């Protein structure tokens, strides 16, 4: 068994900043408005990223790329990780802090940690009120890292000033919605779909269909590495090449 672990660090990081920029400058609102022939600036004023604090949860490969981009924008970067990377800390001038401090001081919070038992509902109803009021929330990792009720609560009560979500509760049901009448669907899944549809109607929420990884270059890297892994297996090589 082998995998393709390093194919889209910069790809996901770039999508993360696409969401951040869209929210910080109201690009999504402006697009809809101008498509309707309305060129009013009312309600579209955004804010600079320079000197804002970006809180990165998960300082692995993707998180590190996000930090690099943030430094290019002149942002201050703090991070939370179970295993702080001291090389990243020195090279990118990143301060590693507790989760509570990150939530309470970040202007933008971005999730980049893996989803596992220790990160399940890492952000939840017990700590959501620690978030700096009005912070932007970005999730290009996994939906299970934030408790759904905490996400909806934060958006409804202005704790999150906006949210960019490439992953969300119930996303696996998107392709099944047309089959709802012929399939047994749990009340839990129906509730997830209803809440997602409510989020879609919020002007300060951008949802993309789990596409952060999907660039032409990243897909090519996946295919190339997979082909090389198959070739290595056939030749019974002792290691599998990863990019």
Q: How confident is the model at residue 233 (pLDDT cuts 50, 70, 90)?
A: confident
Q: Where are the domains of the chain?
A: 9-170+183-212, 216-243
Query: Is the pLDDT higher at 225 or at 92?
Result: 92
According to the model, what pLDDT value does residue 182 have? 44
Mean pLDDT of 34-45: 96
According to the model, what pLDDT value does residue 175 have? 52
Which residues belong to the active site? 142, 177
Query: Is the pLDDT higher at 111 or at 224?
Result: 111
**Each residue's pLDDT tens digit, 127-138:** 999 999 999 999
Fold of domain 9-170+183-212: Rossmann fold (3.40.50)
Mean pLDDT of 118-122: 97
Confidence check: pLDDT of 241 > 80: no
Cβ atoms 84, 31 nearer than 8 A = no
- Provide CB contacts within 8 A for 160, sequence distance 6+: 131, 134, 135, 136, 137, 151, 154, 204
Give me the chain's average pLDDT, please. 88
């Amino acid at each position: 068994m082998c995998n393709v672990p390093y194919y889209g660090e910069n790809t996901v990081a770039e999508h993360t900043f696409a969401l951040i920029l869209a929210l910080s400058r109201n690009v999504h609102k402006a697009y809809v408005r101008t498509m309707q022939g309305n060129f009013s600036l009312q309600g579209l004023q955004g804010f600079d990223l320079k000197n804002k604090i970006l809180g990165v949860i998960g300082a692995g490969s993707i998180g590190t790329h996000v930090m690099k981009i943030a430094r290019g924008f002149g942002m201050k970067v703090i991070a939370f990780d179970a295993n702080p990377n001291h090389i990243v800390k020195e090279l990118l001038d990143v301060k590693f802090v507790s989760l509570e401090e990150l939530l309470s001081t970040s202007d933008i919070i971005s999730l980049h940690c893996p989803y596992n038992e220790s990160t399940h509902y890492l952000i939840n109803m017990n700590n959501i009120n620690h978030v700096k009021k009005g912070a932007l929330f970005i999730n290009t990792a996994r939906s299970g890292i934030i408790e759904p009720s905490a996400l909806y609560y934060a958006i409804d009560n202005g704790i999150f000033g906006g949210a960019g979500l490439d992953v969300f509760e119930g996303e696996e049901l998107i392709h099944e919605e047309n089959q709802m009448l012929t399939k047994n669907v749990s009340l839990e899944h129906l509730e997830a779909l209803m809440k997602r549809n409510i989020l879609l109607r919020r002007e300060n929420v951008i949802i993309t269909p789990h596409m952060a990884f999907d660039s032409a270059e990243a897909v090519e890297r996946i295919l190339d590495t997979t082909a090389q892994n198959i070739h290595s297996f056939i030749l019974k090589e002792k290691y599998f090449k990863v990019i």
